[in-house]
Structure 1
């Protein structure tokens, strides 16, 4: 099962790269929120709160991410590639005094605009735990998935935009026998795009 998830994430990433290579040869129908080649880039701030068993030891997260949206179907369907850094802050009032989680999530997925400026997005990939020994984990990598909804609207005539979304993000376990090592967050991403 674990290998199936990893293989699925890799297949999704490779499919995204293949679609991206094909999409770069097409011309978008509008250029109000895309670059000359149709790709949208954004740099954002990520924040959220812990959910489920994970919230017993952790409060909230803060981080940043970069994302590329590669057009597949005009300006309605995009393949996304996203990488970032998240610090999930531990609760200080717990006797065991857990350590913050330091994660680098790398994801690929799809972003679909059913109506102008409103999108639904789904991504999956791998989350890399940078401080495995500090948090008592026996794995440094876990499968991550993140469904998201949001709005994207132009802020200038040259194609710059704001992308604001709310998402649920979860991973598989970083410690084999410890359910609280599954990272579960509900968060927001506010990004500036160009």
Structure 2
């Protein structure tokens, strides 16, 4: 129930960003049309990532925080881009499990490297899909038998300009990996995440 509330709050926050974006990008007809547009060519962005675990993973983990660097490479006009994303995620384990003092779950420390496609069906709104590998940086602390897992992340978002050479990119995604411990479903990292980035 708590997770449903948190996910709803994230979606509402994203909707607010979307409305703000459309308000900023509306143009008025005057004798000269001056609009601020998102720069052409390769777009780079640096962002803050946060999320809420879902599925079996939420039993032992409460939230994650990290950052990422992304490059969007245009392949068709300014509508279709190839994306390359490298990030870091710390997924925080729950403390005092079952009310037992010091029964703390070890954090997951992940380095995801993803590539994919970003498509703008309408101006400033995009759908994106990425896949790649997520490297577990503290394998021995978690007694995992795998240090790398397949990761995939479908996402929707908005990009809106803030100046002639910069923009804000805000997106909501579902991100999931395969197992880090053979036969243990709870070792799959699954979360609903938000990325808010400054682009140039």
Matched, 1:89 2:86: no
Moved over 3 A (4+): none
> Aligned to 1:34, what secondary structure does the other structure show?
coil
Match of 1:183 in 2: 189
1:11-22 aligned at under 5 Å gives the runs none
127, 135, 148: which one pairs with 1:141?
148
Compute the displacement of 1:33 (Å): 1.7
Match of 1:34 in 2: 39
Q: Distance in 2 between matches of 1:51 and 1:34?
A: 36
1:1-194 aligned at under 5 Å gives the runs 32-34=37-39, 38-94=41-97, 95=100, 96-157=103-164, 159-194=165-200
> Aligned to 2:58, what secondary structure does the other structure show?
helix
Compute the displacement of 1:109 (Å): 0.1
> Aligned to 2:189, what secondary structure does the other structure show?
strand
Scaled by the length of structure 1, what TM-score is found?
A: 0.81
Scaled by the length of structure 2, what TM-score is found?
A: 0.78
Q: Select between 132-141 and 94-103 the one with higher mean Cα deviation.
A: 94-103
Q: Distance in 2 between matches of 1:93 and 1:101?
A: 17
Compute the displacement of 1:133 (Å): 1.0
Match of 1:14 in 2: none
Q: Distance in 2 between matches of 1:140 and 1:162?
A: 33
Q: Distance in 2 between matches of 1:177 and 1:115?
A: 43
Q: Distance in 2 between matches of 1:113 and 1:155?
A: 18
> Aligned to 1:80, what secondary structure does the other structure show?
strand
Q: Distance in 2 between matches of 1:91 and 1:193?
A: 34
Match of 1:16 in 2: none
Larger Rg: 2
Alignment gaps of 5+ in structure 2: 1-35
Deviations 1:114-140 (A, max 9, x none): 000000000000000000011121100
Alignment gaps of 5+ in structure 1: 1-30
